[in-house]
């Protein structure tokens, strides 16, 4: 590792490679999600048969939104604890984030089942296909984030992360907040606004 800690001090911009690279990746993800969002906006406004916006369970999703927002809070507290070198707090908040993230996914699966009972499926109409692909890709990102969090959590039992090595947790946080950020837009765009 010494080679790389040394390398970090020699970067041209004084920034960590991984962090710079990750921000660049997130910039690319913006266009990815925007392509999905814009398709949803264009298509859900088109005339179509079958269930659309009205079958969405807004109270349930509102609750889920709070859960995801709170998981972002616990994530940032985990990053903060890492920087302070407080291992116990870091693990606690990582675990809280994992649990809330899993809860979010659980509720989303439940929501999908309910919606399918209402007749909104992937193939029912334009609203169905755009809805499931948009929220589904967000859900896939959350799921990936949970798995990543689990790895970070397991690795945190060793003396891996701390003020000297906070970047892996920091980047994990950036990912998690980005996924939350996407949801910040998805919730009003998909659930609240009738296009």
Partner 1 sequence: MATRTEPIARPSTLATWWDTVVEWATTVDHKKVGILYILASIVFFLFGGIEALMIRTQLAGPELRFIHPQTYNEVLTMHGTTMVFLVVMPILTGFGNYFVPLMIGARDMAFPRLNMLGFWLFFFGGILLYLSFLSGGAPDAGWFAYAPLTDDTFSPTRGMDFWILGLTVTGIASITGSINFVVTILNMRAPGMTLNRMPIFVWTTLVTAFLILFAFPSLTVATIFLFFDRNFGTGFYSPEMGGTPLLWQHLFWFFGHPEVYIMILPSFGLISEMIPVFSRKPIFGYAAVVYATVAIGFIGFTVWAHHMFAVGMPPVVAASFGAASMIIAVPTAIKIFNWVGTMWGGSLRLRTPMLFAISFVAMFLIGGLTGIFLATVPVDWQLTDSYFVVAHFHYVLFGGAFMSILGAAYYWFPKMTGRMMDERLGFWNWLLVFVGFNLTFFPMHILGLDGMPRRIATYGAGLGWDFWNFVSTVGAYMIGAGMIIFFINFFHSLRNGPEAGDNPWEGWTLEWATASPPPAHNFDGLPPITSRRPLWDVKLNRVLTPEEVKARLVKDEHIHLPPPSFWPLVVGLGVVLIAAGMIYTYVMTVLGVLTWVIGVLGWIQEKGY
Partner 2 sequence: MAKHSATETSKHGAHPNYWLIGIVLAILTVLELTVTSNWFVTTFNLSQALTDFLLLAFAVGKALFVVGYYMHLKFDSRIFTVMFSIGILFALLLSTTFVLLF
Question: Which residues sit at the interface with partner 1, rule CB under 8 A?
Answer: 1-4, 6-7, 11-13, 15, 17-18, 20-21, 24-25, 27-29, 31-32, 35-36, 39, 42-43, 46-48, 122-123, 125-126, 129-130, 133, 151, 155
CA-closest candidate to residue 167, choices 10, 23, 45 = 23
Using an 8 Å Cβ cutoff, are 16 and 8 in contact? yes
- Residue 1 Cβ, how far from partner 1 at the closest point, in Å? 5
Do residues 68 and 180 touch, judged by C-beta distance below 8 A?
yes
We find the least distance from the C-beta atom of residue 73 to partner 2, in angstroms, to be 4
Instruction: Output the six-digit token pair for 33.
Output: 């999600």
Q: Residue 194 binds which one of partner 2, partner 1, none, with CB within 5 to 8 A depending on kind?
A: partner 2
Per-residue H/E/C for 90-122: HHHHHHHHHHHHHHHHHHHHHHHHHHHHCCCCC
**Residues lying near partner 2 in the complex (CB under 8 A):** 9-15, 19-20, 23-24, 26-31, 33-35, 37-38, 41-42, 58, 62, 65-66, 69-70, 72-73, 75-77, 80, 83, 163, 173-174, 177-178, 180-181, 184-185, 187-189, 192-194
Smallest distance, Å, CB 140 to partner 1? 11
CA distance 189 to 63: 16
């Amino acid at each position: 590792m010494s080679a790389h800690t040394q390398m970090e001090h020699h970067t041209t911009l004084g920034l960590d490679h991984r962090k710079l690279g990750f921000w660049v990746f997130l910039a690319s993800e913006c266009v990815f999600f925007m392509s999905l969002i814009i398709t949803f906006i264009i298509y859900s406004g088109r005339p179509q048969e079958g269930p659309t916006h009205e079958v969405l369970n807004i109270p349930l999703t509102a609750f889920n939104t709070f859960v995801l927002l709170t998981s972002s809070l616990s994530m940032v507290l985990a990053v903060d604890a890492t920087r302070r070198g407080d291992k116990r707090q870091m693990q606690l908040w990582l675990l809280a984030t994992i649990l809330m993230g899993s809860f979010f996914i659980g509720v989303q699966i439940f929501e999908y089942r309910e919606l399918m009972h209402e007749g909104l499926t992937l193939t029912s109409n334009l609203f169905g296909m755009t809805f499931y692909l948009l929220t589904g890709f967000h859900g896939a990102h959350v799921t990936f984030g949970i798995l990543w969090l689990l790895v970070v959590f397991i690795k945190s039992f060793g003396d891996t992360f701390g003020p000297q090595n906070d970047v892996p947790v920091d980047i994990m946080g950036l990912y998690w907040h980005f996924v939350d950020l996407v949801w910040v837009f998805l919730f009003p765009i998909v659930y609240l606004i009738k296009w």
